[in-house]
Amino acid sequence: MAKFDIMNHSFDHHVLNSLHDQELPVAVPEEQRRLVNEMDFFSDKNPSRDSRNVEIKKESVQQSELNVNTGLNLLTTNTTVSDKATVDKGGSPPGTDKRTSNETELNRMNSENQRLKAMLNQVNNKFYTLQMHIVTLMQQQKNPKAESTEETKMIDGDLEERRRRNVLVSRQFMDLGQALISDKDEPPQSSSEGRNRDCYESPHYREHIPMAAFESQNYGNCGDHENPAFDRRKTDCEEREDSPREQDFQEWTSNKVPKLQCSKDFDQATTRKARVSVRARSEATMISDGCQWRKYGQKKAKGNPCPRAYYRCTMAVGCPVRKQVQRCATDQTTVITTYEGQHNHPLPPAAMTMASTTSAAASMLLSGSMSSADGLMNSNALARTLLPCSPNMATISASAPFPTITLDLTNSPNPSQFQRPQSQFHVPFPNPPPTFASMPQIFGQALYNQSESSGLESSQEMMRATAAITADPNFTAALIAAITSIIGNVQPERNSSNNNTIRNHSESKMEDSIY
C-alpha cells in the first residue's frame, strides 16, 4: 500500500499538473463565443480559483520542469509576448516599417506560442500515459500471487495490449478515438474470448486508429485519412451542402448504429453508441464544457415536464458530437447533459477535460462490454470499482437504448470517508478542497481493491471490470480531471448566481424556452 501511496503522490501531482495545463492562458480565440449563463465547469477563468499569483508561480515551476524535460524554452504566457512587444514599441521610432515589423514579430511569436502550447499539451499527455502505465505495472508487481490466475492473465493481456496501445494513445491528443474504434467497422470475431484484444491487436484496428490532431495539423478540417470514421466525416463534410436530406439522415443513422459483429450478444451490446451522461446541480441553462454548440432541436420527452434540448458541436464542420441537455424531472435543479460521439477536431484546453472524460468513459464502457463474455458487465460492480466511496456517483445503464455511463456530480463524495491526512498529497493547487485531493485516491483504491478486497477477489466479473478500467488509463485520468474540476472549482448552488451574472440574450431566451 505504501508503494501505491507513493505512486499516488506523484500521480496526484501530474494529474493536477495536467489539469493545470489546461488552465494555461492559451490564446484560445475569443470568437469561441461562450454561453456565459452556463454552469462553467471547465472554465479557465473560474473565479473560485484562488489567487492568480499562485497559479503564475505554479506555471513557472511547471514551465521549468517542462523546459528541463523537453529542452524547449516555451513561451507559455501571452504576457511575455505582449510585454516584449510593448518594450519593442516603446523603444522604436514611430516609423511604419518598424511597427509593421513589430506586428509581424508579434504574430510570429503568437503562432509559435500556439504551436508550442500544443506541443506542451502533447508532451504532458504522453507523460501521463507513461505514468499510468508505470502505476499499473507496479500494481502488477505488487500482486504476484494473482499472476497465476486466469483473470490476471487477462489483465496481463490487457497490459500487453496497452503497451502496444501506448504508442497509439500518446498519439491521441484530443480525439480519444477508442470508443469510435471499438464501435465502428470492426472485423467479425467469432471467438467471444479475447475478442476485445483481438480487435485491438488486429491489423485492422491499427490501420484505423484515428489520426491525432497533431498529425493532421488541419484544424477544422474534416481530415484526409484512411480511417473510415474520418472518411465518413469527410463525406459528411463534403456532401452536407448538396446531399439530399435522406442521405444525410442515413449517414447519421449509420453512425449511430455501427456495424460490429464480433458475435451475436456482443453485437447487441456494442453496436449501440455509448453515451456519457453528466448530472450536476445548476440553475444555469447548461454546463460549460469549452465547446461551441448549436441548438438544433428541442423536444418534450415522456415523463419529464422539462423539454430536452439537442445541440451539436459547431467547432468544426461535420463534427459528429451531439449533446442533450435536460432538467431532471424529479429534481429540476439538476441538469443532465448527455454527450454522444467523438470530436473530429482539436479542442481548446477548456474543452479537453470534458471531451476526454466523455470519450474515455465511452471507451471504457464499450471495452467493458466487449470484455465480458456475458455481454455487458455488471454495471453496478463496475460503478463500485470506479468509485467505491460513492457508489452512486457513476452508474452504467445497459438497458437504455444506448449504453450510457452516468456521472452523478450532484453529490460529491464525503471527505470523511478518506482518512488520509492531506499533507500526504502533493497538491500544487492552493487550498484544494478535501474531495479534490481525495479523488485520485478513490481510483487508486479502486485498483488496489481489485485483488485485496474479499468482495472483489472472487469475482471474475469484477476482475473483468477492473481490467476494462485499467485497460483504459485515459478514463481515470480524464474522469479525475473532470470531477476534480467540478468539485474543486464549482459549488453549483452557491456559484450559480455568480455564473449567471453575465447573461446574453440567447441564454435567457433558451432558459425561458426550456424552463
Interface residues with DNA (CB under 7 A)?
Answer: 33, 35, 245-246, 248-249, 252-253, 256-257, 292-303, 308-310, 312, 314, 322, 324, 401, 504-506, 509-510, 512-513
Q: What Cα–Cα distance (Å) separates residue 206 from each residue in 211, 217, 227, 317? A: 11, 20, 10, 26
Least CB distance to DNA at residue 296 (A): 5
CA 63 to chain centre: 23
What does the alpha-carbon distance between residue 197 and residue 179 come to, in Å, rounded to a whole number?
14
Burial of 464 (0-12, 13-18, 19+ CB in 10 A): buried
Write down the least CB distance from residue 352 to DNA, Å.
21
**Given CA atoms 474, 231, 118, 482 in this order, what sign does their dihedral have?**
negative
Cβ of residue 15: shortest distance to DNA, in angstroms? 33
Helices (H), 208-272: 213-216, 228-239, 245-256, 264-270
Nearer to DNA, 271 or 424 (CB): 271
Residue 30: Cβ within 10 Å count: 7
From the centroid of its chain, how far is CA 514?
27
Q: Based on CB atoms, which residue is closest to DNA, 86 or 508?
A: 508
- Residue 286 in contact with residue 39, Cβ under 8 Å? yes
- Min CB(478)–DNA separation in Å: 23
| Region at 290 (left for phi over 0; alpha for psi -120 to 50; beta for the rest) | left
Q: How far is the CB of 492 from DNA (least distance, A)?
A: 22
Rounded to an integer, what distance in angstroms lies between the CA atom of residue 52 and that of residue 374?
Answer: 51
- Please, which residue, 31 or 150, has the CB nearer to DNA? 31
Which residues make Cβ contacts (< 8 Å) with residue 226, sequence separation at least 6?
A: 207, 208
**Between 145 and 505, whose beta carbon lies closer to DNA?**
505
The nearer residue to DNA, 145 or 245, going by C-beta atoms, is: 245
Among residues 19 and 321, whose Cβ is nearest to DNA? 321
d(CA 209, CA 162): 14
Cβ at position 195, least distance to DNA in Å? 23
> What's the min distance (Å) between Cβ of 116 and DNA?
29
Cell numbers found for residue 11: 500521480
Contact between 469 and 446 (Cβ < 8 Å): yes
Residue placing its CB nearer to DNA in the complex, 49 or 308? 308
Kindly tell me which of 39 and 155 has the beta carbon lying closer to DNA.
39
Q: Please identify, using beta-carbon distances, which residue of 214 and 252 lies nearer to DNA.
A: 252
Question: Residue 473 in contact with residue 178, Cβ under 8 Å?
Answer: no
**Shortest Å, Cβ 30 to DNA:** 13
- CB 369 → DNA: shortest distance, Å? 16
Closest CA to 335 of 274, 278, 392: 278
d(CA 86, CA 64): 25
